Amino acid sequence: MISIAKPFIGEEEKAAVLEVLGSGQLAQGKRVREFEERFAAWVGARYAVAVSSGTTALHVALLAHDIGPGDEVITTPFSFIASANCILYAGATPRFADIDPLYYTIDPASIEQQITRRTRAIIPVHLFGQPAAMTAIAEIAAKHGLAIIEDACQAHGATLNGQPLGTWGTACYSFYPTKNMTTGEGGMITTNDPALAERMRVLREHGMRVRYVHETLGYNFRMTDLQAAIGLVQLTRVDGWNAQRQRNAAQLTARLAGAPGVATPQVRPGATHVFHQYTVTVADRERTIASLTERGIGYGIYYPIPIHQQQVYRERGYTDVLPVAEAASAKVLSLPVHPALTESELDQVADAVVAAACEPVLA
């Protein structure tokens, strides 16, 4: 069985967790502080604030930007649902822009069409490890005075034109087990703005700066030292894993080149893509899935229903028609690309796709 994702926990992670267990300090403490410092330095941002998940990272980021009822935030419908739900949590209104058909990230021209007097922020998602069109998005944000909140939950370590993702605005990361690095559950927010970083620290801790003095409505969105201990070790491994993901992607692309009806992932010019997912389109998705399943190979469809068509949005009256996102949901197929795959396993994955693509269609 070749799985679509395979988190790696080594002896060092285990030892680091045992050390925390033995220390008696289990909740947020010095390991969290150390993880924040190292993560900020690794990203190239001035501050990092650790939280309990990528979802709470997005929620806190919006609150720290003072986004709430009456405000609109533009995001992509082709993502994990947290990219939009965080806007609802903040009491603001999500507006959906369509995506680019080549890279599946939010389309800057469509963002401009969604801007109103109420728009406060844009949440671009660096989907599958591919940077969103940040140069154009940064220009739009500057022109209209909008905040940028990067959803970098799938893009640890990616860059665009030499600039790391996570430094274009406020940026949110997830450490869920399937991501490029993990802490079990966990999240991180990066920013260069000291005031925002301070607000985020207060919000994750019950609105408290001084013990039991609650200056605002906050939450318990803390990370534990157990998670941070794992994260500190994973941070020493993630560059190597990203490089392996890139090599794996190159091998799949070489092997799939020329297979009829198969479109391999495109990398945006100037980008380093960290291949959280390796996502293709094929002429016949059902037949390709059957071929993969027959050979014991896992796959994923990210995402089968675009966010604006999910029940939670339908119920809220969303009737948007976003043709590129809707077509992508009907076509995409993600193949195993994780760093634990061997060359022979990668060949098996590609061969299964090629076999389905080359099978004659029975009339």
Ligand X SMILES: *Cc1c(COP(=O)(O)O)cnc(C)c1O
* Residue range at the interface with ligand X (CB under 6 A); choices 47-55, 162-170, 192-200, 350-358: 47-55
Cβ pair 109, 97 in contact under 8 A: no
3 state DSSP class of 317: coil
Taking the complex as a whole, the smallest distance from the CB of residue 256 to ligand X amounts, in Å, to 24
224 binding ligand X? (CB under 6 A): no
- CB nearer to ligand X: give 305 or 355: 305
55 binding ligand X? (CB under 6 A): yes
Give the one residue of 53, 130, 277, 279 binding ligand X; rule: CB under 6 A.
53
227 binding ligand X? (CB under 6 A): no
Cβ pair 214, 207 in contact under 8 A: yes
Taking the complex as a whole, the smallest distance from the CB of residue 281 to ligand X amounts, in Å, to 20
Taking the complex as a whole, the smallest distance from the CB of residue 56 to ligand X amounts, in Å, to 7
Site string for ligand X, 133-172 (x = CB under 6 A): ------------------x-xx------------------
> Which residue from 303, 295, 307, 293 is spatially nearest to 344, judged by alpha carbons?
295
3 state DSSP class of 255: helix
Q: How far apart are CA 300 and CA 123, in angstroms?
A: 24
> Which residue from 148, 240, 144, 127 is spatially nearest to 190, judged by alpha carbons?
148
176 binding ligand X? (CB under 6 A): yes
Pairing of the two strands 147-151 and 170-174: parallel
- CB nearer to ligand X: give 153 or 352: 153
Give the contacts of 314 (CB within 8 A, at least 6 positions apart).
none
Bond preceding residue 173 cis, omega within 30 of 0? no
Taking the complex as a whole, the smallest distance from the CB of residue 132 to ligand X amounts, in Å, to 11
Which residues inside 61-80 make contact with ligand X, applying CB under 6 A? 79-80
Q: How far apart are CA 229 and CA 320, in angstroms?
A: 43
- CB nearer to ligand X: give 152 or 256: 152
From residue 305, alpha-carbon distances to 43, 47, 77, 302, 325 in Å are 32, 35, 9, 9, 9
Taking the complex as a whole, the smallest distance from the CB of residue 175 to ligand X amounts, in Å, to 7
- CB nearer to ligand X: give 191 or 227: 227
Taking the complex as a whole, the smallest distance from the CB of residue 294 to ligand X amounts, in Å, to 29
Taking the complex as a whole, the smallest distance from the CB of residue 218 to ligand X amounts, in Å, to 18
Which residues inside 116-135 make contact with ligand X, applying CB under 6 A? 125
187 binding ligand X? (CB under 6 A): yes
Q: How far is CA 242 from the centre of its chain?
A: 14
From residue 124, alpha-carbon distances to 200, 245, 354 in Å are 20, 23, 33
94 binding ligand X? (CB under 6 A): no
Chain residues in the site for ligand X (CB under 6 A): 53-55, 79-80, 82-83, 125, 151, 153-154, 174, 176, 187
